[in-house]
Amino acid sequence: MSRRAATLAVASVLVLVLALVGSLMPVPYVTLMPGPTRNTLAENAKGQAIITIDGRRTYPTEGSLNFTTVTYRGGPGGRIDLLTALRGWLDGDTAVVPEETIFPEDESPEEVDEQNTRQMTDSQQDAEAAALHELGVPISTRVVVDSVQKGRPADGKLKPEDEITAVNGTAITKVDQVSKVMDGVRPGQTVTLTVRRGGKELQQRITTAKGPDGGAVVGVVLAGAYKFPFKIDVNIGDIGGPSAGLIFSLAIIDKLTPGALTGGKFIAGTGTITPDGEVGPIGGIEQKMIAARRAGATVFLTPKDNCAAAVEARPDGLRLVRADTLATARQALVALTTGKGDVPACPS
């Protein structure tokens, strides 16, 4: 073999080795893929109804009303390699996004998971409130302790999930009412909190400290919650995020009203929900539509702000129905079922 040929052979081997090593190097990207989809009118893997309602009459229904999810690979501590990222870029069902899109630099993977779990819990509560508002069922609000700051005056006296019913004798049903009462308290003064814990009411006297803004604080984070006139449970297991809110609300409405809201059709969808019924955008719309169509859905409820991306990536056989609010989504399903009325489409 000539010297030139030997040099070329060695160079080729080096290039191949470098390419192979480079392809296996971790990269700061995450792949998003179609995830599982669940029928909220049916049972979960444990044989429990996904949505159960106690203390109110419910009605039989039929069809499918599925929420959709996205799964991911990668992230800090488990990064994908370059070869996996390249395969994702070439796969029409997969999206490859920068790692910080899913895992902000200032949050650990555990914090992200905890946030997703909290978002799902909040989404379920908002979905319940939105459904009952839509049906005209009165509900009231309450104030609960979300967390207690260590080393602050409330540490050891208040616990997460404590309900604050009064501050210095003033009845409390909203978080801003607490702030108004505390505005009249100076650091070092004692406040009396009326707390409901485990069905019992107790009084907690707490000496306040000086907060960052100079005002009096006890060291808790408060959150607004609802008092529902009957019990609603959503049993979906280990799934996080807020994007199933719209579907949860529609499923609750379906169970609380006569007839099948789906008309027996296979409906899927996505969208966040506010307590007053506004539908918000979500991420991963392309993967969620793919998951829905693979499961058998023929109609997909789509937040209006996701419509443009949804139209570009719509799978064959999937009809996109625009959902601006819970009320319009409900009306659209009735129109689909009866053939009467307009069905808003993406785009409009």
Which residues are catalytically annotated? 243, 288
Residues 6+ apart with CB under 8 A from 29: 74, 79, 80, 85, 88, 96, 97, 98, 99
CA 217 to CA 213: how far, in whole Å?
A: 10
Cα 86 to Cα 94, 162, 284, distances in angstroms: 11, 50, 19
C-alpha 1: how far from chain center: 65
Strands 64-74 and 266-269: parallel
Which residue type is seen at 186? R
> Which residues partner with 31 through β-bridges?
73, 96
Cα dihedral sign, 326-327-329-334: positive
The structure tokens listed for 273 are 């929900």
Cα 146 to Cα 129, 205, 305, 346, distances in angstroms: 19, 19, 31, 39
CA 136 to CA 227: how far, in whole Å?
A: 15
Taking the CA atoms of residue 166, residue 172, residue 177 and residue 178 in that order, the dihedral angle to the nearest 10 degrees is 40
Look-up: residue for tokens 């625009």? 322
Helix (H) or strand (E) holding 132: helix 109-134
CA 181 to CA 47: how far, in whole Å?
A: 48
Please compute, for residue 192, the number of CA atoms within 13 A of its CA located in the half-sphere on the CB side.
7
Please name which of 136, 140, 126 lies closest in space to residue 249, comparing C-alpha atoms: 126
The structure tokens listed for 235 are 């049993």
CA 126 to CA 206: how far, in whole Å?
A: 32
